[in-house]
């Protein structure tokens, strides 16, 4: 239960589909249960679980890609983060301001960030999510992704920069409207 929301959030951000993320989360915990004896304690339990979750999400993605799944999303569809299918992104964003205008701007920026995360290449997206959203250390991310700490730092820096460019481009296009 302690890691359920973490596993779901990782799966959702990798797969961008609530149902697929739920399936991947369930499969992740089945694998953890079946293979718990293989946990050697070389890293924390959290990073071991993250590695399994990311590998499962990637496997799910490959499975769908081999089947040429065409995906369409309704603009009115709920976001479905952390298993809540009826909430919008704005429900997850905190705002210090009560102004409807500021609230709308904040909601739009959040949508651009979520879309920007989906537009990043997988390796950069995973690194940014693990560091900036899940709060893992560089060493933990290195273990989870099976790359060197230097590569992790590079992916985070490049991922953040690409995300910043995507969000700023969206803001510029909004300003022109």
pLDDT per position as a tens digit, 14-47:
998 899 999 999 999 999 999 888 888 888 889 9
Question: Is the per-residue pLDDT at 79 higher than 80?
Answer: no
Q: How far is CA 89 from CA 49, 63, 80, 114, 126, in A?
A: 26, 28, 9, 9, 20
pTM: 0.53
Taking alpha carbons only, the member of 117, 123, 106 closest to residue 162 is 117
pLDDT of residue 94: 55
Phi-psi region of 68 (alpha: psi -120 to 50; beta: other; left: phi over 0): left
pLDDT of residue 66: 78
pLDDT tens, position by position, 100-134:
777 777 788 888 888 888 889 999 999 999 999 89
Residues 6+ apart with CB under 8 A from 109: 167, 171
- Cα dihedral 130, 36, 64, 79 in deg (nearest 10): -50
pLDDT band at residue 65 under the 50/70/90 scheme: confident
Mean per-residue pLDDT, 45-61: 91
Rounded to whole angstroms, how far apart are CA atoms 124 and 160?
A: 8
- What's CA 41's distance to the chain center, in Å? 25
Q: How far is CA 119 from CA 86, 97, 112, 126, in A?
A: 24, 29, 10, 12
pLDDT band at residue 78 under the 50/70/90 scheme: low
Question: Would you say 114 and 128 are in contact if contact means Cβ atoms under 8 Å apart?
Answer: no
Q: Judge residue 170's burial from the number of C-beta atoms within 10 Å of its C-beta, 0-12 exposed, 13-18 middle, 19 or more buried.
A: middle
Report the chain's mean pLDDT, rounded to a whole number: 82
Look-up of token digits 């900036």: 132
Residues 6+ apart with CB under 8 A from 158: 124
């Amino acid at each position: 239960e302690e890691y359920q929301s973490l596993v779901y959030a990782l799966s959702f951000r990798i797969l961008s589909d609530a149902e697929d993320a739920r399936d991947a989360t369930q499969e992740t915990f089945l694998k953890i249960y079946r293979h718990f004896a293989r946990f050697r304690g070389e890293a924390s339990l959290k990073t071991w679980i993250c590695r399994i979750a990311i590998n499962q999400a990637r496997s799910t993605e490959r499975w769908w890609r081999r089947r040429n799944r065409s995906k369409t999303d309704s603009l009115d569809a709920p976001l479905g983060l952390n298993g809540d299918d009826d909430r919008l992104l704005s429900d997850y964003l905190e705002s210090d301001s009560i102004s409807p205008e500021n609230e709308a701007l904040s909601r739009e920026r959040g949508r651009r960030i979520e879309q920007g995360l989906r537009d990043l290449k997988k390796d950069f997206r995973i690194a940014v999510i693990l560091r900036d959203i899940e709060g893992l250390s560089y060493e933990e991310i290195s273990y989870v992704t099976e790359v060197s700490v230097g590569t992790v730092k590079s992916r985070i820096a490049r991922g953040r920069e690409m995300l910043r460019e995507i969000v700023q481009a969206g803001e510029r296009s909004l300003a022109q409207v």
